[in-house]
Structure 1
Amino acid sequence: MTIDAPTGGGIAKTSLHDREQSSYVDWPAIIAGIVLASAISLVLISFGSAVGLNFLDFGYGNEPNPIFVGIAAALWFLWVQISSYMAGGYLTGRLRRRYFDANEDESDLRDGAHGLLVWAGSAILGTIIAVNGIGAAANTIGSAAATVTNAASNVSEGAAEAVDPNAYFIDTMFRSNQPADPAAARDEAGRIFAQAALGDGTVPEADRAYLANVVAVNAGVPPEEAQARVDQAIAGIDNARQQAEDAARIARNTAIIGAFLLAASLLVSAIGAFWAAQKGGNHRDNNTVHPGVFRRF
């Protein structure tokens, strides 16, 4: 049995037997859309990277505003993602074989579903490429970390003692006002700072006074200058710790905002791919052409 269906220029006959043996999903059209979306995304992201690096001139002048750079990069990525998925969805909708066993609303829904499959396939492909790139970077970082670990193996015992709280408490029992070996004095000072780092980063007043006395005795400077040196060293450590905390907080907030924007852009891209695929299907059914753009030469 066959069904006669209008196709704009004539009558097409669709076999019900063939319809029952096939699927509504037109995978060749979907793959074509995925390829187009991935290619457009690659080209535009490469172009955007080139333009962005052109603005990052580290040779002279003021450094670029990181907020401006981040906003510009996010907007460019959003536009690239949406436009590439819409292009792939439109191509799939235009190429999809329509079976005339449904009304126009059902046909539009099937076209849009093909656009969503293009969106999903492109997103998965992009994720695989990104994960492979991250894996390669992780391997490189791992190799570098192994090299650093081997280079630091000779001082590992000293580092372990520096963070050993027992060593700090043992030092308090043998403190002396007499000049000590400079290396031993430096090691003890390191253990005092390490013990403070295990808490809130505050060096107790007793340790401050002891450090000032050790500096005065071993460096041969007045007590006031020794105390100033200790205070300056503690302030520098506190400042470095605060900067590290600020950097970690900024990195965390950036990761949260980036993940939210990525999810939002993917959602908008899915809607765009669905709509573009429906538009492509409508142009397919109406034999729509674009004079001056798609024409024979």
Structure 2
Amino acid sequence: MAFPTHLSADTAHNGHVVGELHESRPPRSPSAVSWGAIAAGAAAAAALSLILLILGVGLGLSSVSPWANAGVTAATLGVSTIVWLTVTQLLASAMGGYLAGRLRTKWVDTQADEVYFRDTAHGFLAWAVASLATAALLTSVIGSIVGGGVQAGATVAGGATVAATTTATGISQNEEGGSMAYFVDTLFRRDAGVVSASTAAPGDTASSYLDNERELAEIGRILMFHQLSEPLPEDDVRHVGQLVAQRTGLSQADAEKRVTDTYARAQSQVREAETDARAVADAARKASSTAALWLFVSLLIGAFCASLAATFGGRQRDA
């Protein structure tokens, strides 16, 4: 019985025949995403971005002076900060994208258009990972920029109440140095040569001191109740005027006029403080909005530079 001299690939158990069969198959192409290269590029971009940000903070602080007419202005500092953020994104993202494209594996039997797309994607992914890592490290900075507008709005909404409450409670918390204590003291100022209508006896010094303290506390409660946000009622003006007249020797009409004028001055001070608070809050809101917009632009520039640099790195890798 004759046996066949040629063995097919399906029935052959010889190692040489099977080896030749495997060698004839095309090699398996590598994965389209090289995560190792992306991680390396992202790490380099995040590190360079952190170094440049620290350098920018140092240069910015060194250019600011507490003395008048010294150092850079606020507008110059703002422009330089925007330019430095843009430069930081450009350099760091370009380096990260270039490394991601240069370190990725070589794709075999892949069309040129597909290689270009993959390199661009590698650069973009490296930029995205680096941006997320930088944001995680600088959470407080990003939060202060985004939350600045919300805090400014809250300051505008509660500026009047805070200013009035702080000014009014100053007399009860610190009679010697409170802002309202000054206005209360002006109510009881005596003109030179005027004798008080009620002069205490020499033995009643302690009793007179306690009466004065009670009067000051009473006036403080009256002003705190109205919080300088509304006109002082006529009965309160008359009552405070009586206390002022007893201690200063003024007539009732002059004492009431002094009370009205002093209260108007206090109201004017509170309104000025409220106006200043609103101006500061509005400036903070505008600065927060501008910073957020320019940060968005700088991140877009970084994404573009990373994607473009990855294509150059990929070309040099395949050359």
TMscore range, shorter length: 0.5 to 0.7
- Relative to structure 1, the CA distance from residue 209 to residue 128 in structure 2 (aligned partners, 3 Å threshold; closer, same or farther) is same
The match for 1:295 is none
Cα distance between partner residues in 1 of 2:236 and 2:216: 13
* Residues 1:208 and 1:258: Cα distance change in structure 2 (over 3 Å): farther
Q: Is the 8 A contact 1:33 1:92 kept in 2?
A: yes
Q: Could you tell me which amino acid in structure 1 is paired with residue 288 of structure 2?
A: A
Aligned residues: 222
Whole-Å Cα distance in 2 between the matches of residues 132 and 246 of structure 1? Answer: 25
Report the CA distance between 1:232 and its aligned residue: 1.3
Answering whether residue 264 of structure 2 is matched by residue 255 of structure 1, we say no
Whether 2:132 is the aligned partner of 1:99: answer no
Aligned AA for 1:277?
A
CA apart distance, 1:60: 6.2
Q: Deviations over 1:200-241 (max 9, x none)?
A: xxx23xx26566555544443644443332221101100111
* Change over 3 Å in CA distance of 1:16–1:53 after alignment to 2: farther
Partner of 1:67: 75
- The alpha-carbon deviation at position 17 of structure 1 amounts to 5.4
Aligned twin of 2:138: 130
- 8 Å CA contact retained: 1:182, 1:218: no
Aligned partner of 1:226 among 259, 284, 298: 259
CA contact (8 A) 1:119 1:270 kept: yes
Structure-1 residue corresponding to 2:299:
266
% identical equivalent positions: 27
The one-letter code of the counterpart of 1:107 is V
- Give the unaligned 5+ runs of structure 2: 1-22, 144-167, 173-211
Q: Report the counterpart of residue 277 of structure 1 in structure 2.
A: 310
Give yes or no for contact 1:189–1:211 (8 Å, CA) kept in 2: no
Q: What is the match of residue 189 of structure 1?
A: 223
Equivalent residue letter for 1:258: A
Q: For residues 59 and 282 of structure 1, what CA distance do their matches in structure 2 show? A: 54
Greater Rg by CA? 2
1:211/1:230 contact within 8 Å kept:
no
Query: What is the Cα-based RMSD across aligned positions, in Å?
Result: 2.9
**CA gap 1:189/1:210 in 2 versus in 1, 3 angstroms:** farther
Change (3 A) 1:75 1:210: farther
Aligned AA for 1:72?
Answer: S
Q: What residue number does 1:56 align with?
A: 64
Cα pair 1:90 1:280 within 8 Å, conserved:
yes
Partners of 2:100 and 2:122 within 8 A in 1 = yes
CA offset at residue 45 of structure 1? Answer: 1.4
Which one-letter code corresponds to 2:226 in the other structure? I
8 Å contact kept, 1:93–1:280: yes
Alpha-carbon distance in structure 1 between the residues aligned to 2:234 and 2:76 = 48
1:118 is aligned to 2:126: yes
Other structure's SS at 1:181 match: helix
Structure 2 residue identity aligned to 1:227: T
Equivalent residue of 1:36, what SS?
helix
Q: Which whole-Å CA distance do the structure 1 matches of 2:233 and 2:110 have between them? A: 84
In the TM superposition, residue 276 of structure 1 has moved relative to its aligned partner by: 0.8
Rounded to whole Å, the distance in 1 between the matches of 2:72 and 2:127 is 34
The TM-score, its normalising length taken from structure 2, stands at: 0.62
Give the drift of 1:82: 1.8
Change (3 A) 1:16 1:189: farther
**If the length of structure 1 is used for normalisation, what is the TM-score?**
0.66
Unmatched segments (≥5 aa) in structure 1: 1-12, 136-157, 163-178, 197-202, 287-297
Cα gap change, 1:272 to 1:225, in 2 (>3 Å)? same
Q: 1:100 Cα deviation (Å)? A: 2.1
> Residue 143 of structure 1 corresponds to which residue in structure 2?
none
Match of 2:37 among 25, 29, 33: 29
